Amino acid sequence: MTQAPATTSSITGTDQDAPSYGTYAPTPWEARLIAFARRQPATWTGKRLAFLSRRMVMMRLTHPLDVEVFGQRMRLNPFNNVSEKRILFTPQYFDPVERDILARHIRDGFVFVDIGANIGGYALFAAGLAGAGARILAVEPQPIIFDRLVQNIALNPSGTVKAIACALADKEGEMTLFLSASNKGESSVKFVGTPGTEDQTVQVPARTLLGLLEEERIDRIDALKIDAEGAEDLILVPFLRDAPKALLPRLFIIENARGRWQTDCIALLKRMGYRQVAETRLNVVLERD
């Protein structure tokens, strides 16, 4: 199979005609409700109040909103992407355990690879903490979401995040990406929809993780987050088999999709000397010395 090169975009590769930040600023009423939702604790009552506030805003909202989250500027479209809705209204509930562990691993020259970056929640969170010496790759295959990712990167001055438009898998070439009709952030090279629904497909360039890292001249990784909607094993198994030991990340944040894997990635990492340090509703976190 011939290799289809990944489409890449850095912070300078954005649409210069896009409306400037602040064009979609929340109204005072929206801003108060969003701030109220963000103050709510992770209790039953707190979550009910936060979701009520979110519903009140969503009932009238017809456009994206320009807001600050994790100290970063973002333009968020909460209508058809669960991740954007969570980050806009309740960032305190957005993987707090995982983000806390990630923050503790940040150091000078931090190298972070975000696979399934969506609109940049993890990548921009890390960029805001890591400083100008960091290097962050944000890999996202879904074209519409990739455009939003690039736009969010461009809204911030760090210059440390590079967006890469491709799917990662166990082979190079071109692959079919399955898109969820109800959640644009949910896409995978494994079928994720329900037969008979309006789920769509798109052809995208595919790379192996090792091939992409070699092309980007990355020789070490401090942390890697992977959320590939059940395709984590297609990406990680060949990488863990073929990568030099020096390239193995110190920290893994992996979406827990054991029921959809042919190879248990978490068990494989444990056999390789990683220890599990956390398991949340969505993810498993492993690290090595």
Q: Please report the pLDDT score of residue 55 as a whole number.
A: 97
* Residues shown for the chain: 289
The pLDDT of residue 53: 98
Structure token digits, residue 21:
């930040």
The Cα 100–Cα 117 span in angstroms is 18
Spatial contact of 256 and 231, defined as CB atoms under 8 Å apart: no
Which of 284, 247, 289 lies closest to 267, judged by CA? Answer: 284
Distance CA 2, CA 80 (A): 34
Give me the residues of the chain with pLDDT under 70, please: 1-17, 191-199
Residue with tokens 């850095």: 10
> pTM here?
0.90
> What 3-state class would DSSP assign to 174?
strand
Please give the C-alpha separations between residue 31 and each of 1, 20, 43, 229, 241, in angstroms, as whole numbers.
51, 19, 22, 32, 49
Contacts of 245 (CB under 8 A, 6+ apart): none
pLDDT score of 158: 81
pLDDT, tens digit (0-9, with 9 covering 90-100), for 265-283: 999 999 999 999 999 999 9
By DSSP bridging, strand 223-226 and strand 200-207 are unpaired
